[in-house]
Amino acid sequence: MNAAEQATGLEVTAKIAAIVNLFKAEFPDARADLKPWKNDPDTRELVDPDSIDIGFHFPGWSPKFQSRSILVQIRFYKDPLENSHRLIGLEAAGFNHQGEAWRLSTVDNWQLVGQCQPALQVGEKLKHFCRQVFTLFNG
């Protein structure tokens, strides 16, 4: 779900701001987009209501990133008995003019997969960012 829609209270809003700052610390040229999903019925069907989704856009395509935009989806498990959310993982996907170029998921083995993968240094920075988000939520 769009991060802007999830920012309903002070705690979540502060964590979303922290996520943006953590990403920009690794990738200073990135511009955050707190509404990466369109607000139409078809898109709404695909959106996970228990996630915080943020898009990050770069000034142009870079061979180092192999993308122009990165979508970060922070996924939670909502425990109905405790009325709480627990972070279960992050997914980051890089997009170029042809669509999705690569993907990183912390749910499995933290490997980058895809036809056009970013440079090793970029992959390590993405993994460092993911670890910091885990610390932010599980702290």
List the domain boundaries for the chain: 3-138
pLDDT tens digits, residue range 16-67? 899 999 999 999 999 999 887 766 565 566 667 778 899 999 998 888 999 9
Place of tokens 């690569």: 102
Q: Rounded to an integer, what distance in angstroms lies between the CA atom of residue 106 and that of residue 28?
A: 23
Mean pLDDT on 115-131: 95
Task: Write the CB contacts of 83 (distance below 8 Å, at least 6 apart in sequence).
Answer: none
Report pLDDT digits (tens) over 58-77. Answer: 998 888 999 999 999 999 88
What pTM value is reported for the model? 0.88
Tell me the C-alpha distance between 44 and 38, whole Å.
8
